[in-house]
């Protein structure tokens, strides 16, 4: 019974990864004077050197890290905050809020980027028009704020999903704990800080790791917003760069190296983060 | 669920603050959807000249809808059907495959099962982009690119589904029942199909829904794989129209109305199947 999944997993997960790693170690060179079939040459880490020696790729990596620095804390704090608010005793209609916050998860990232694109240009955006009428002129698509504009789209789409994971964890806390705390005279505030947050910590860690992985894949939003602004170049993120290398520059080997670099970065950050929280965990709890 | 720790009376200020923040958040999450629903009733000109969150004097929702469904020989209908096909078939196959695998990992102590599970879990962490580009070259080698299969087959693999299925099989299918069925002479496949799968139904619905939305929202895979517009899913089709807005501003209205339709479709599905989004499964998973 394992076999069908294992075969599919090997074909559509493992094989592409192996192929990418293998591809990243070769280079296609035209033989002789350009006549005859181009041949594959083993170049070891040359493609990686080329990628890391390319200033615009390094720039896109830096941009990605800056984006992650904005997006990950923003997402985690929002998701935790919304989950705690909905779970708090003061919330009215928690079920309705839960559904409303989760709705954007069903809107494809491409459509979300298209919609926010309209909300980011003054001609169609009621928000920008409203702000402008009271004297505040914003341009979310300018070079300075474009990363925040993209972060907002990702936050809008996934905050509700992450919140749902956290609410489920909050619901799993045995209610005796709350009763005991209340008998001891704990306020709602201290219950939140001393009981709820420490107990949902594993879920917060999970949400953080998922957000890190998702963040490093940044591709769709800049691709869709690009026609609207000059602040986004064709190799704005490493994934866009890899896509372009592969399909418009005809250099799949370099693209493979770029993709592998992004994946390694993802692993490094995920595991780095996990180690960090685990070490902290030993001390604190 | 949430009401259980509700004391009889809350201080007024905290009630106002908490619900105030929740209402503001709700407006934020609904804003783009409200905007697109209103915008779908406007003419291409009004789109850029009228206030975004209110209707104009001459709403033309019906005309816009007709335009969307007749543009390019009614290709929008094909895009919707393609999206449903990719999502439904892909998610169904993914659910069966991950259920069988997760169940087997949970219930049969075979050699290397922990290793297999770790590799599958590692799969959850691999960015989709790392898979999609090389997958194009692999499928190109066997002449599958450009076909429905090029999107369907990769969509059938859900490592997260295996993870959920294993956790749930452990919790919901008692070993005693499997033993009893074996003594009665049932084979492993029959036990899985007739007994275990039924006990795992809530988890299977969850896996199906998550995978359905994942495939529905996927953009990169079809972008890489498909080249004929009649095989496109909605996401790819709408960006195709969006790329033509420079040439003809009429396409703005097509994109807006098309986006409104696709948002409405999935939002309806999500609200309708709300009770099946059992996130407590994922909560159990985080502890397992």
**Could you tell me the residue ranges of all domains in chain A?**
1-44, 55-284
Mean pLDDT, chain B, rounded, equals: 83
Confidence of residue B79 (pLDDT cuts 50, 70, 90): very high
B225 band by pLDDT with thresholds 50, 70 and 90: very high
Where does the pLDDT of residue A283 fall: very low under 50, low under 70, confident under 90, or very high at 90 and above? very low
Residue-by-residue DSSP string for A6-27? HHHHIIIIIHHHHHHHHHHTEE
Coil, strand, or helix at residue B53?
coil
Q: Closest to B282 (Cβ–Cβ): which among A9, A116, A168?
A: A168
Domain contains B44: no
pLDDT at B117 over 80: yes
Which residue in the set A9, A19, A129 is minimally distant from B157, CB to CB? A9
Selecting from A4, A213, A252 the residue whose C-beta is nearest the C-beta of B127 gives A213
pLDDT higher than 80, residue B8: no
Question: Model confidence over A147-167: pLDDT tens digits?
Answer: 999 999 999 999 999 998 888
Instruction: Find the CATH number of the domain harbouring B228.
Output: 1.10.3720.10
Q: What is the pLDDT of residues A167-194, one digit of tens each?
A: 888 888 888 888 888 888 888 888 888 8
Measured distance CA(B161)–CA(A188) in Å, rounded: 36
Record: contact B134-A182, CB cut-off 8 A? no
Considering only CB atoms, which chain B residues are within 8 Å of A185?
none
pLDDT at A29: 64
Mean pLDDT over residues B220-241, rounded?
91
Higher pLDDT, A135 or B209: B209
Quick check: A116 and B32 CB within 8 A? yes
ipTM: 0.84
pLDDT > 70? residue B275? no
Task: Supply the pLDDT for residue B90.
Answer: 95
List CB contacts (< 8 A) between A224 and chain B. Answer: 239, 242
Closest chain B C-alpha to A267 CA, distance in angstroms? 7
Total number of domains constituting chain B: 1
| Cβ-defined contact of A216 to B127 (cutoff 8 Å) | yes
| Dihedral angle of Cα B208, B209, B212, B218, to the nearest 10 degrees | -130
A259: Cβ–Cβ under 8 A, 6 or more apart, which residues?
Answer: A20, A24, A239, A242, B129, B130, B133, B134
Q: Binning pLDDT at 50, 70 and 90, where does residue A77 land?
A: very high
Please state the rounded mean pLDDT for residues B155-180: 86
Residue B231 falls within a domain, yes or no?
A: yes
pLDDT digits (tens, 9 = 90+) for A28-52: 765 555 555 566 777 777 788 877 8
Given a cut of 50, whether residue A269 has pLDDT beyond it is yes
* Residue B192 DSSP code: I
Mean pLDDT of all residues in A110-126:
87
B139 vs A80, B123, B136, B148, B226, CA distance in Å?
Answer: 41, 20, 5, 12, 11
A282 pLDDT band, cuts 50/70/90, is very low
Query: What average pLDDT does range B34-53 have in this prediction?
Result: 80
Rounded to an integer, the average pLDDT of B258-268 is 87
Q: Does B102 reside within a domain?
A: yes
Residues of B in contact with A19 (CB under 8 A): 134, 137-138
Considering only the beta carbons, identify the residue of A4, A92, A206 that sits closest to B19: A92
Q: Give first-to-last CA distance, chain A, whole Å.
A: 40
Choose, out of A11, A16, A259, the residue to mutate when testing the contact with B (most B CBs < 10 Å).
Answer: A16
What local confidence, expressed as pLDDT, does residue B278 receive? 59
**φ, ψ for residue B109 (rounded to 5)?**
-80, 75
Q: How close does chain B come to A107, measured CA to CA in Å?
A: 6
CB contact under 8 A, A118 and B4: no
Which residue in chain B is spatially nearest to A110 when comparing CA positions? Answer: B235
Q: Does A236 or B44 have the greater pLDDT score?
A: A236
Of residues A44 and A203, which shows the higher confidence score?
A203
Check CB contact under 8 Å for A109 and B22.
Answer: no
The torsion of the CA quartet B32, B38, B39, B41, rounded to 10 degrees, works out to: 150
Report chain B's terminal Cα–Cα distance, integer Å: 22
Contact B280 A171 (CB under 8 A): yes
Report the gap between the CA of B73 and the closest CA in chain A (Å).
22
pLDDT tens by residue, B130-146: 788 888 888 988 888 88
A26 vs B: CB within 8 A: no
Class of domain A55-284 as given by CATH:
mainly alpha
Cα–Cα distance, B47 to B50 (Å, whole number):
6
Residue window 199-218, chain B: list those with CB within 8 Å of chain A. Answer: 213, 216-218
Q: Tell me the residue range of the domain where B196 lies.
A: 72-287
Interface residue A273 vs chain B (CB under 8 A): no
Q: Which of residues 239-258 of B touch A (CB under 8 A)?
A: 239, 242-243, 245-246, 255-256
B260 vs A: CB within 8 A = no
Count of pairs with CB atoms under 8 A, one residue in A, one in B: 280
Looking at residue A178, its pLDDT comes to 84
């Amino acid at each position: 019974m394992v076999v069908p999944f294992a075969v599919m997993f090997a074909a559509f997960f493992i094989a592409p990864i192996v192929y990418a790693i293998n591809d990243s170690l070769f280079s296609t060179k035209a033989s002789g004077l350009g006549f005859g079939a181009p041949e594959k040459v083993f170049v070891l880490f040359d493609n990686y050197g080329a990628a890391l020696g390319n200033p615009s790729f390094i720039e896109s990596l830096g941009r990605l890290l800056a984006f992650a620095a904005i997006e990950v804390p923003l997402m985690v704090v929002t998701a935790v905050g919304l989950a705690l608010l909905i779970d708090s005793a003061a919330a009215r209609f928690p079920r309705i809020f839960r559904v409303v916050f989760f709705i954007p998860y069903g809107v494809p990232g491409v459509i979300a980027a298209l919609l926010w694109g309209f909300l980011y240009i003054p001609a169609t955006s009621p928000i920008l028009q409203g702000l402008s009428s009271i004297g505040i002129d914003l341009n979310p698509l300018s070079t300075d704020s474009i990363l925040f504009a993209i972060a907002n789209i990702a936050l809008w789409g996934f905050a509700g999903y992450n919140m749902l994971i956290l609410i489920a964890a909050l619901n799993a806390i045995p209610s005796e704990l709350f009763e005991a705390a209340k008998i001891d005279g704990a306020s709602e505030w201290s219950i939140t800080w001393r009981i709820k947050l420490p107990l949902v910590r594993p879920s917060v860690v999970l949400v953080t790791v998922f957000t890190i992985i998702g963040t490093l894949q940044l591709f769709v939003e800049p691709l869709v917003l690009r026609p609207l602004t000059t602040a986004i170049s064709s190799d704005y993120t490493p994934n866009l760069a890899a896509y372009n290398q592969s399909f418009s520059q005809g250099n799949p080997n370099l693209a493979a190296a770029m993709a592998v670099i992004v994946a390694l970065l993802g692993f490094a950050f995920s595991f780095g983060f996990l180690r960090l929280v685990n070490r902290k965990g030993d001390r604190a709890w | 669920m949430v009401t259980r720790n509700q004391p009889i009376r809350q201080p007024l200020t905290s009630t106002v603050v908490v619900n105030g923040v929740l209402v503001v958040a709700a407006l934020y999450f609904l804003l783009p959807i409200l905007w697109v629903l209103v915008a779908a009733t406007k003419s291409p000109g009004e789109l850029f000249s009228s206030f975004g969150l209110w209707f104009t004097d001459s709403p033309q929702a019906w005309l816009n809808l007709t335009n969307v469904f007749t543009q390019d020989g009614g290709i929008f209908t094909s895009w919707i059907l393609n999206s449903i096909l990719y999502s439904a078939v892909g998610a169904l196959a993914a659910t069966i495959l991950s259920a069988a695998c997760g169940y087997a990992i949970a219930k049969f102590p075979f050699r290397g099962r922990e290793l297999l599970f770790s590799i599958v879990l590692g799969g959850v962490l691999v960015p989709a982009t790392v898979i999609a580009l090389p997958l194009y070259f692999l499928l190109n080698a066997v002449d599958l690119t450009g076909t429905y299969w090029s999107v369907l087959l990769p969509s059938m693999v859900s490592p997260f589904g295996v993870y959920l299925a294993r956790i749930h099989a452990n919790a919901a299918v008692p070993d005693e029942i499997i033993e009893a069925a074996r003594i009665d002479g049932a084979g492993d496949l029959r036990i899985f199909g007739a007994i275990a799968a039924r006990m795992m139904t809530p988890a299977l619905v969850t896996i199906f829904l998550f995978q359905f939305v994942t495939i529905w929202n996927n953009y990169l895979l079809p972008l890489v794989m498909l080249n004929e517009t009649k095989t496109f899913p909605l996401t790819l089709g709408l960006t195709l129209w969006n790329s033509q807005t420079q040439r003809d501003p009429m396409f703005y209205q097509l994109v807006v109305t098309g986006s409104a339709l696709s948002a409405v479709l999935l939002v309806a599905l999500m609200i309708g199947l709300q009770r099946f989004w059992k996130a407590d499964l994922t909560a159990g998973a985080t502890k397992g």
